[in-house]
Amino acid sequence: MSPAKRAFRLVFLVFVGLGVLVWIVHLVAPDAATITFNGAPATGWSALLVPVILGVVFGLIFGLIVAGITALVTRSSSKG
């Protein structure tokens, strides 16, 4: 696996993990993390999906940026 793919997966999993962590904190202590959806407090499945989907979106964006930078830095100069 190339370093760019490893970097993408690492960044993506960190952001998705942060989304899951926010959901767990919301489950354990609802006053510690407030999850809102369309201005209303999220409960049930929406309380899980909102932070996880946001983590996926930001993970994709920043993962692609980091993977692109990694691919540029690690490419060899002997390739045409």
Residues 10-43: tens digit of each pLDDT = 999 999 999 999 999 999 998 888 888 888 988 8
Which spans in the chain are helix H?
Answer: 3-28, 45-74
Task: Provide the domain count of the chain.
Answer: 1
51 lies in some domain:
yes
pTM of the model: 0.85
80 lies in some domain:
no
The pLDDT assigned to 43 comes to 84
**Residue 78: partners with Cβ closer than 8 Å, 6 or more residues away:** none
Q: Range of 24's domain? A: 3-72
Confidence of residue 79 (pLDDT cuts 50, 70, 90): low
Provide the percentage of residues in the chain whose pLDDT is more than 70.
96
26 lies in some domain:
yes
Q: Please state, in angstroms and rounded to a whole number, the distance separating the CA atoms of residues 3 and 41.
A: 40
31 lies in some domain:
yes
Q: Please state, in angstroms and rounded to a whole number, the distance separating the CA atoms of residues 8 and 31.
A: 33
58 lies in some domain:
yes
38 lies in some domain:
yes
59 lies in some domain:
yes
